[in-house]
Amino acid sequence: MRLFLTLFLTVILLSSVFAQQKFSNALSNDHIQIHWQEEKGSWRIYKILVKKDGKWVEGLKPSGEYTLLYSETKPSAEPKETFEKITGGKFPEDNYHYQEVQWKESTTEVSLNTAGEALHFLPHSLLIKKDELEFKKETEVATVVASWKLDPNFPGDVLVTMTLTPKKKGYFSLASPTLASVPTEQMAWTSVPGYFQSNFLQKNFALSYAYGHGAPARPVIYRERCATTLSPLVSTKNGITLSVIPEPGLARDPWAKEKLTQTDWFLGLSHMNRKAQLSPTLYFPVLGEPKSERNVGETISYSFRYSLIAGDWFQAVKHAANDIYKFHETLALRQSKQSLTDRIEKMHHYLTDPATSLWNIEEFEEKKIGAQSYLGGVVGSNKDAMKNADYGAMWMLANATNDPELREKVLPPALNFKLVQQDTAKGFFDGAIEGQYYLAKSKKFVEEWGEVVEPIALTYYVLLDMGNMLLFAPDNAELKNRLRLGADKLLNWQRTDGSWAVAYDRKTEQEIFKDIKDVRPTFYGMIVAYRLLKDEKYLKAAQKGADWFIKNAVETGAFLGVCGDARYAPDFATGQSAQALLDLYDFTKNKKYQQAAITCAKFYTTSIYTHPIANQNPKTVNGTNREDWEISQSGLSFEHGGIFGSATRLGPIQLASHAGMFIRMHQLTGEQIFADMARSAAIGRHAFVDSKTSVASYYWAAMNKGAGPYPHHAWWQIGWITDYLLSEVALRSGGKVEFPRGFVTPKVGPHQTYGFEAGKVYGEKANLVIREGFVAAIQPTVDCILAENNSKNEAYVILLNNRSQPSDGKLTFNAEKWAAGKKIKNIVKTASGEAVNAPSYQLPGFGMEVYTVRFE
């Protein structure tokens, strides 16, 4: 009996030791636990726990498997597969030549993750050090060593450094190990920011890969050039988000030193591992790219981190952007060398000079029509295309400056252009537009990319443009009748489920582009009609359209763009959708629209670059010495991203239409990243501004070449800058200084029109004005906005410090620049009423002060 008892106790003791041994090879703290277990000479991750609401939860399927890609020869740069639309037929069609190169490079074996030999393995040895675990594996082609440790600064992060030492000559790509995967049925969300976000896997490859309408069901490898935040991620239904974040400096620098390096491909990103399991994965180097070719013994080493968060994808993106890529910190680098208000004043001169603005007057249907030359791609154009951009900004600038050049020479022919642009012949297209562009030589209106008519174009170029004009001219009966004509056509085209077609064929009147849904803010046209025409049927249609949009776009992360030449790749219309839903909330007070707007805005943060980390390193740009932050992509949005958007070659854009909306979102939610992104886009961007005209380039790659073939973009720039500045005014004053907003601009985003009616400045009525030269000698980091109260013979001077550091200086006024014969009686600080004898300003970082100037 004693011997039996001894043996029994020994077995119990050994079992206890063995059980402890299984879990002793672990990385753990108060937030996460990762346990390894040895099985048949290999080390596998046995359990992963994340603390959520004070309890340890699972939800991830542990793995620990490594993947090495190897090829003796360089993989082919030619595609090996073709793909069809969900409705059948080749994708994309041959006429989309802007996308030809991008689609080709995105469907090679490397991009599709079928290239090379995939070696999957578990490490065979483990060395336990003081604060890290080091794993090792000898394969036939290379030795792989991986060091894992917890990050003491961010307790949900695990730091990993991997080293590969080749045993053979060839091409190598070392994937981040599969920490864990998420079963498809347990996946709540997955994203490669800048490419897609979704809550489901899409079987049709073209629809998922080109549009992000569902996540690709294949382990495709994305390039860093359109990955806005370097953080592929997947979230579980029980609230855990796993992301993988590369060490800063691993991805390409788009302008490494003195030339464009935008298309270099150093880092691959995916939402899946090579086995198509949902597991965010990095690939470094990319197989076949320059860094991947190695001789025997020529090592590869790189670092990254896994992040395990008891929260959603938005928290994961913010962590990568701010904590790892220092996005919030680098805002402090931004110093404007020209104020935004000075740019508006200079662009005013640019736009009233026909030689610089390329303003044209043509005769059409017995009317003098006016528009600017458009030298970009338009089907059928013989360098004779004309276009107007932002009608709200045109009327706003004319109203603020009271400039007869604008009022008499620009606005009347621009109005005529809009009237003849609308189709008024009885029939299927009655009330819609003939086309965005007028071809002067052939005397006809055309669309950008083929003979199509889009319901959203009706929203844009009839309802929004006419709506913004009507805010300034509410008694214009002809405009109001035309608005009603367009509104009724849009209402007629609305389907019973609330949606609209993407487009109709101009000749056959049949619906086309049936492979994609109109997940765009087409419903905004109904908001315009309701606000101006007061008919409840339009509000009901707007709600019906928004309800469909929320279900099909907001809940799934699927959006569509508005650029026909890019086959509607998702673009700035996503940001515009956020403002559309906010405006609908203002009319209905239905919280679901406000919440959907916030979600849309969060999605749009993944259209903003947060890498590389901006710094002060010297660079040379077209012969000019710059510091890195001056040309940084960080903080800028793209026109359209994804695998075949313009950002793949040309980088992001300077047209920051979203800036004002993001400030409003910050005011609504308190989320600091909204304000940081707005400010990063808006300020300190002088390296992209043409010194002669103050017009910024459109594409990042153009640097400071000005408007180039797009002179009408200056109107959009005036529009978004005004919206941004006045949104900052409302935010910083706590709503005590505020001006009414009109409708969003067509196409490029959510910035809105101002100046059509008086606002308020600390309880006093005030009208926005521009009086160039009235306030002088303000430093370029401070913007000066002016308003007037004629009944009190007062001017209001609103100063915004648009940098992180304080700004101070003296104020100099020239009353003659306000109006001939004007003299200043006294000046007070508006908020306090304190008299100011020697005007000066002392503004904290992103601070504000308002002065009241009283005239005699």
Residue 12 pLDDT more than 80?
Answer: no
The fraction of the chain above a pLDDT of 70, given in percent, is 97
Element (H, E) at 800: strand 794-801
How many whole angstroms separate alpha carbon 86 and alpha carbon 79? 20
Complete DSSP assignment for 215-231: EESS---EEGGG-SSS-
Q: Quick check: helix, strand or coil at residue 146?
A: strand
Residue 448 pLDDT more than 90?
Answer: no
Q: Quick check: helix, strand or coil at residue 564?
A: helix
The stretch 731-741 carries a mean pLDDT of 98
Residue range 456-482, pLDDT digits in tens: 999 999 999 999 999 999 999 999 999
Residue 4 pLDDT more than 80?
Answer: no
How many whole angstroms separate alpha carbon 649 and alpha carbon 698? 13
What pLDDT score does 244 carry?
Answer: 98
Give me the helices (H) in 126-272, please: 205-211
CA distances from 408 to 404, 405, 420, 771 (A): 5, 6, 19, 19
How many whole angstroms separate alpha carbon 839 and alpha carbon 749? 38
Residue 22 pLDDT more than 80?
Answer: no
Q: Can you give 10-57 as a three-state secondary structure string?
A: HHHHHHHHHHHHHHHCEEECCCEEEEEEEECCEEEEEEEEEEECCEEE
Q: Lowest mean pLDDT of 274-278, 606-610, 773-777, name the range.
A: 773-777
How many whole angstroms separate alpha carbon 189 and alpha carbon 237? 8
CA distances from 37 to 34, 43, 179, 337 (A): 10, 6, 13, 59
Complete DSSP assignment for 726-782: HHHHHHHTTTSEE----PBPSSS-S-B---SS-EEETTEEEEEE--TTSEE---TTE
Which residues, 6+ apart, have CB-to-CB distance to 583 below 8 Å?
A: 524, 527, 743, 744
Residue range 515-525, pLDDT digits in tens: 999 999 999 99
Q: How would residue 2 be classed by pLDDT, with cut points 50, 70 and 90?
A: very low
Q: Lowest mean pLDDT of 269-273, 583-587, 724-728, 809-813, name the range.
A: 809-813
Residue range 182-212, pLDDT digits in tens: 999 999 999 999 999 999 999 999 999 999 9
Q: What is the CA radius of gyration of the chain?
A: 29
Burial of residue 728 (number of CB atoms within 10 Å: 0-12, 13-18, 19+)? buried
The stretch 129-142 carries a mean pLDDT of 96
Residue 19 pLDDT more than 90?
Answer: no
How many whole angstroms separate alpha carbon 776 and alpha carbon 175? 58
Residue range 323-369, pLDDT digits in tens: 999 999 999 999 999 999 999 999 999 999 999 999 999 999 999 99
What pLDDT score does 838 carry?
Answer: 76
Residue range 213-236, pLDDT digits in tens: 999 999 999 999 999 999 999 999
Q: Quick check: helix, strand or coil at residue 836?
A: coil
The stretch 267-288 carries a mean pLDDT of 98
Type of residue at 827? I
Ramachandran region, residue 257 (left: φ > 0; alpha: ψ -120 to 50; beta: rest) = alpha
Q: How would residue 379 be classed by pLDDT, with cut points 50, 70 and 90?
A: confident
Q: State the pairing for strand pair 215-216/201-202.
A: parallel
What pLDDT score does 493 carry?
Answer: 98
Neighbours of 42 (CB within 10 A): 17
The stretch 729-745 carries a mean pLDDT of 98
Q: State the pairing for strand pair 61-71/170-175.
A: antiparallel
Which residues, 6+ apart, have CB-to-CB distance to 51 below 8 Å?
A: 30, 31, 32, 57, 310
DSSP 546: H
The stretch 820-831 carries a mean pLDDT of 94
How many whole angstroms separate alpha carbon 85 and alpha carbon 514? 9
Residue 135 pLDDT more than 80?
Answer: yes
What pLDDT score does 14 carry?
Answer: 36
Task: Of 192, 188, 214, 219, give the one whose Cα is nearest residue 203.
Answer: 214
What pLDDT score does 777 carry?
Answer: 79
Are 243 and 227 within 8 A, CB to CB?
no
What pLDDT score does 17 carry?
Answer: 36
Residue range 113-125, pLDDT digits in tens: 999 999 999 999 9
Complete edge-to-edge strand list for the sheet that includes strand 511-512: 452-453, 503-505, 511-512
Neighbours of 625 (CB within 10 A): 9
Q: What is the mean pLDDT of the chain?
A: 95
Rounded to 10°, the helix 573-588/536-549 angle is 130
What pLDDT score does 13 carry?
Answer: 37
What pLDDT score does 24 carry?
Answer: 61
Are 807 and 843 within 8 A, CB to CB?
yes
CA distances from 586 to 579, 593, 730 (A): 11, 9, 17
Task: Of 539, 386, 414, give the one whose Cα is nearest residue 473.
Answer: 414
